[in-house]
Amino acid sequence: MRMIIPTLLLSVSLTACASTSQQSAILASDAVPAPTAVMTAATAATSELSQQQRFEAWKADFTRRALAKGYAPNLLAATIGRAQINERALERDADQPEFTRPVWSYIQTAASPDRVSRGKAELAEHNAQFNRLEATYGVPRHVLAAIWGLESSYGRILGTHNIIDSLATFAFEGRRTTFGETQLFATLDLIQSGSVRADQLVGSWAGAMGMTQFIPSTFRDYAVDFDGNGNTDLWTSELDALASAANYLTRSGWKPGVPVMSEVVVPANFDYSKSETVKQSVAAWTALGVKPSNGMRFSDAASQMEAKLLVPAGHRGPKLLTFHNFDVIKRYNNSTSYVMGITTLASALNDYTVIRTPWPEGDEPLSFIDKQRMQETLTAMGYDTQGVDGLIGPATRRAIRAWQSANGLPADGYVERSQYLRMITPQR
């Protein structure tokens, strides 16, 4: 059986204080001494500590807490005790890109000719291993190869950063201290259990490791020693790395025989307010005029599947029905562009073009500041974006669709430069 719907060929894919009244009572208590000259001097001295001194103080505090959790003193001395600040991690984590790459640019890079060519060679070379992986986990080889290719260029780009340094740096200061601490404890779990050796812990500045770029908690909970040599090696063992990715997808709910996404066409008067927000059967979408882009019809089996409509570049760009496995891959990386990149690459590795409609490449992308201003404007007009962060998530797209609908525009949740200017320009 070749496919159920046009892309079934694929079957493709960061986480206590007293109450206000208690605080008020404490602050009002006569038992609290007034600030003294000694206290003021101590506070001033603390504020003048160097970054390295503050880091050493953090390390001492973290070590005390880790000891209380039962981690071995020698383990903490060999890891946290030797940790250094990763300045590159601090810089990258604090950096907010001025422009976000358009989705089509991301996808084109993900499925570049070189990546496709290399991927096909890897699939041929490791054919027997992929047979075992498909039989064990039910995840198609082209999906696994696409993750391998996009995450580490098939094991060629693994990162050169010390993972403990990067995570200790995040836990020390910045916007991701909770993430840093959580992943640091997961790293200690990995070493203490014997799953990995401390000398193996090298990866990206962000703390991801191996050919499939697992963060420590994912490594701890999902990585497998598929080759059975006693070491879960995501750095040099293709079999361990690919099996770990397959295990993650399977335990995240991967359904064999269910596609990731399928390109469709819609009627000229289609109500785009349903995009992204409505999940219903393919038969229900068909009743609204949604059809496969290749002119065929959906099979009876496909018609029973549930899907959402995605219009990542608005009504002038490709339209896609996304299925259960789309959301499964999104658990690997919570990015719509990422899932489309993986799916497009997986399709190309299988000699299939999943998206054929041209992208609106003439559209000028909005900058990070533009997006913040758009969120501020929408919220001020009564379309709540639930925050101003420069990130266009579901809440912001709902606000955009509401504004578009109120202004007689296709409510597709996508804003290009001319529409942005119309939105932020005061009406007279």
Long-range (24+ apart) CB contacts under 8 A made by 396-399 are 396/371, 397/276, 398/277, 399/375
Mind listing the pLDDT tens digit for each residue in 88-101? 888 887 665 555 78
pLDDT of the residue at 399: 96
CA distance 280 to 49: 58
Which residues, 6+ apart, have CB-to-CB distance to 308 below 8 Å? Answer: 275, 276, 277, 278, 279, 321, 322
pLDDT of the residue at 49: 87
Mean pLDDT of the chain: 88
Residue 222 pLDDT > 90: yes
* Cα–chain center distance at 212: 13
Residue 21 pLDDT > 50: no
Mean pLDDT of 98-127: 93
Q: pTM, whole model, 2 decimals?
A: 0.85
CA distance 365 to 32: 55
Residue 310 phi/psi, 5-degree rounding, is -120, 130
* Residue 427 per-residue DSSP state: P
Instruction: Give the domain ranges of the chain.
Output: 261-349, 368-424
Mind listing the pLDDT tens digit for each residue in 307-355? 999 999 999 999 999 999 999 999 999 999 999 999 999 999 999 999 9
pLDDT of the residue at 427: 66
Q: Which of 86-100, 145-159, 274-288 has the lowest mean pLDDT?
A: 86-100
What's the distance, Cα to Cα, between the start and end of the chain in Å? 61
